[in-house]
Amino acid sequence: MVLEASLEAGHPRLDDLNEPGGVGVGRLPRNLDAEHRRQSVLVTYLAGARQRPNLEIRGGALVDTLLVRDGRVTGVRLVSGKRSRLAASSSPPVPTTRRNCCSDAQIARDPEALQQHILDFHATDYHPCGTCKMGGASDPLAVVDDHCRLRGVDNLYIADASVMPTVPRCNINLPTMMIGQRVAEYVRGEP
């Protein structure tokens, strides 16, 4: 529908959206296996992790709260009220940063009022890529440096697709994972 409307509006057809220098509209490329089945993160990346004792994969499960003990996530509470426990992990606990999302103590103590406050006043923004541009010191539009450190703020890295300096003509999933992995190396002090 969108393709046909775009062509009717006079936009040129582009059969390969990954074509260097290509301009136009076309069908979104899909990642297919040899049997022409669509591949996804669920299929390709979770397949190797399915046997882990500390991972439970459930369809249609909406998480309400992470259960944390001694700086380590030990399980989740689902919106249905059921709990899912995580098996013990040998990895060290991840340091957490706590920030109040509500300055009203009365609301903060009431789970239902707090939930409503979060729904009313907190949201996510859609910024798939290119909104926090990475660039050199001479680039006045760059938000992060070449190591994804936020300019003007110490020890804060941005490790998602927003740092891409231009919008790529491909699915951003793999490049985003690569950015995350590389920034993790920077944070650990690896060259």
Per-domain boundaries in the chain? 96-123, 126-191
Tell me: pLDDT of 127 over 90: no
pLDDT in tens, 154-174: 888 999 998 998 877 777 888
Comparison of pLDDT for 14 and 90, the residue scoring more: 14
* Whole-structure pTM value: 0.38
| DSSP-derived secondary structure for the chain | -HHHHHHHTTPPB-S-TTSTT--SB-PPP--B-TT-PBP-HHHHTTGGGTT-TT----TTPPEEEEEEETTEEEEEEETTS-EEEPPP-SSPPPP-----S---HHHHH-HHHHHHHHHHH-------SSSS-B--TT-TT-SB-TT-BBTTSTT-B--SGGG-SS--SS-SHHHHHHHHHHHHHHHTT--
Whether 182 has a pLDDT exceeding 90, the answer reads yes
